Chain A
Amino acid sequence: MGQGRALPGEWQGMALLHSVTFGYAAGIPIVYEASDSSLMQAVRDGDLGGLAVLFERHHRPLFNYFVHVNGNRELSEDLVQDVFFRMLKYRKSYQPERSFTAWMYQIARNAHVDSIGKRKFEVEIGDREFASTNMMDENLKRKQEVALLKRAMARLPLEKRELLVLSRYQNLKYEEIAGILGCDIGAVKVRVYRAVRALGQIYFELAGEKAS
């Protein structure tokens, strides 16, 4: 359980069964966590307890993905919920040989695109939203760097911002990003490089404005 929080009572037993598998190697009991893929297979076969474990593992990174992409906390919470229920709805389409994370982010991207369609306009991320996050014990210079970087991110086009969130913030593998975007690994590398360069241009521009 990623965050050590207790699951609601009714899901605890099921989650324990799913997240931990007991086995024996040379007579010694071994304990290991069930993979995302095997949990999703269990969900696909009608066992909803697996989804509770997947939620505990992934809701926070997923929430951060949405917050970084759209800058809206309430909307991001709704979208996280939406992603997990899309997983339930389309669980039969899950293929275990594919990366679960890639599948999840693919669903997340679709949910995000649909939310834009529903609201008929793209969320404009204000500098305010990015500047207001918690910056507890960092020194002033670091604080300023982070604030500046967030402002720069907010000005980046959506597809570049999303790519940076996936590759850097969520630390997904190239193969996973390639799977999500539907392109090859070489193209992912080039696109990530271009996104970083575009971010750098905005960042240094903002830093220059500030310095002058």
Chain B
Amino acid sequence: MNCEQARTQFVDYWRGTLEDSAGEFRTHLGSCERCRAEAEELKDLWGTLGTLPEEDPSMGMRVRFYDALRTWRQQEAQRRQPLWWLRHPAFQAACAVLILAVGVGTGYLVRGRDSTEVSQLRGEVYNMRQLVALSLLQQQSASDRLRGVNFAYHVEQSDPQVLGALLTTVNHDPSVNVRLAAVDALRNFSDSPVGRKGVVQALAKQDSPLVQIAILDQIVELHEKSAVPDIQFLLSVQSLNPDVRQRAQWALKQLQ
């Protein structure tokens, strides 16, 4: 046995687990001073190493361990319960999303299917408003006719009957307030050539400066150039209110 081989046996020698039946190890130690010295020197160290005092963990460590184990066991028990996943937050969130998706989808389907019914209803409401507007415009009371004009705001712009009624109101209603309201309501009919022409023609029929100015403003707003002769005619009237004259001159400038 050489030194190298002997050293691999040192730990067994120190531990007392050396199997040296042939006595090779002991023979080597007896003949090799260096190995003997090293084996003995380190044997003491090995012995001391085995007697290092043990450290005690704190009591808190056991408490923490058993707390954690308890929590683990509860979670395990939960997992083992039938349908435990029903209580899992992830599952509940998924359900919420699914229900929302189904709701939105159903909403789209229902809207598509019932659109004809809804438009039918909308038509009926519109007809009713038209009737109310037309009947109110015929009333004796100026406030009723004002309400009629207000209803006229809510009918479709292309409705010729309401447009006609509004133009009649502008031209013939005895109340200045009602006529002013009707001029305003006619703004909704600015896309209709009949409406625009009606507004221009109404200018000559007005005697109230307030209504005249309102119509002039609306003409400028609509850029209705066909109104130029009508405005010039208005200016030729000697008894024209100075404010209206000034507004008419301004309107002419804007249109030219």
Task: Give residues in A with beta carbon < 8 Å to B.
Answer: 5, 7-8, 10-11, 46, 48, 51-52, 55, 59-60, 63-64, 67-68, 73, 76-77, 80-81, 84-85, 88, 133-135, 145-146, 149-150, 164, 167-169, 171, 186, 189-190, 192-193, 196-197, 199-200, 203-204
Contacts and interface: CB of A to CB of B under 8 A. Distances in A.
B57 A60 contact: yes
B99 interface: no
Given A193-B7, A193-B8, A77 B38 contact: no
Contacts of A186: 8
A63 B57 contact: yes
A88 B57 contact: no
B113 interface: no
Interface in B43-86: 45-46, 48-58, 60-62, 64-66, 68-70, 72-73, 76
Contacts of A190: 7-8
Given A193-B8, A197-B42, A52 B66 contact: yes
B161 to A, nearest CB: 82
Contacts of B52: 68, 146, 149-150, 169
Contacts, number: 103
A197 B49 contact: no
7 contacts: A10-B70, A55-B65, A59-B57, A60-B54, A73-B57, A88-B72, A189-B8
Nearest to B56: A60
B159 interface: no
A51 B64 CA distance: 14
B69 A48 contact: yes
Contacts of B68: 81, 85
Contact of B42 (A67, A68, A88, A196): A196
Contact of A133 (B9, B45, B53, B58): B53
B12 interface: yes
A73 B60 CA distance: 12
Nearest to B14: A196
B151 interface: no
B53 A134 contact: yes
Contacts of B41: 200, 204
Nearest to A52: B69
A59 B56 CA distance: 10
B11 interface: yes
Contacts of B65: 55, 59, 80-81, 84
A51 B73 CA distance: 11
